[in-house]
Amino acid sequence: MSAPFEKTHFIWLTIALIALLILGAISRSIPDNMTLHVLEFSTVGLLLLSLMSLNTERKLIKWFVLIIGLMLSTSVVQGYTETVYFEYTFLALLLIFMFLAAWLVGSQVLLTGSVDLNKIVGSVALYLIIGLIFSIFYVILLEFSPHALNGIESTNWYDNMPTTTYFSFVTLATLGYGEIHPATPVAEVIAILEAITGLFYMAVIVAGLIGAKLKLSLIHI
């Protein structure tokens, strides 16, 4: 990775993640018979962009490429069959990708080098990844427990994804608007864990990074 790109790679990752959020929002305007395939193929494309933005070793890159390749293969095969197992496989692979990305970004943001603007943006990217991880958890939960969240009609996962993403970030930010809320013990536990994660993240990690950056700035004055 070139030096200029290495100094801004978290910015590109954040842009890719925001594009993924926008994709979920506009997917509702796509005809029903095309929604799944457009969403899956677009997601794979954005994950490839995210992968290009991740500054990591070749060994890890191979795992990311493998996961994306399996997701693409799953989407293609799914076009010729109506079984839901390929949809579950796609979601599981997406969840694995997000967990690996969160671990990689977290280790680079928190455990390496000095604090700069790129790392602060990286903390935003990590926050977005965490929100998406919980969103996928809610989608999977709704697949097996359709009434787990009051305020969300149980439909296909790709129709639920924009709403669960909204609920996930509302919970992560502890806004608690209340129009969607957990209705089962499992959903309540996931929501509690996400709220705790959001509070801890903003209070400790982001505040710590910004504080360290300000301290370095004052030292160099």
pLDDT tens digits for range 135-159: 999 999 998 898 899 988 777 887 8
Q: Indicate the domain borders of the chain.
A: 3-219
Q: How many beta carbons lie within 10 A of that of residue 54, not counting itself?
A: 20
| pLDDT reading at 85 higher than 60 | yes
Separation CA 164–CA 55 (nearest Å): 29
Q: Comparing C-alpha atoms, which of 142, 123, 81 is closest to residue 213?
A: 123
Q: Work out the burial of residue 144: count CB atoms within 10 Å of its CB; fewer than 13 is exposed, 13-18 middle, 19 or more buried.
A: exposed
Residue 182 contacts residue 188 (beta carbons within 8 Å): yes
Residue with tokens 């989407």: 75
Residue with tokens 């494309």: 45
Q: Which of 17-26, 38-47, 113-122 has the highest mean pLDDT?
A: 17-26
pLDDT tens digits for range 186-207: 999 999 999 999 988 887 777 7
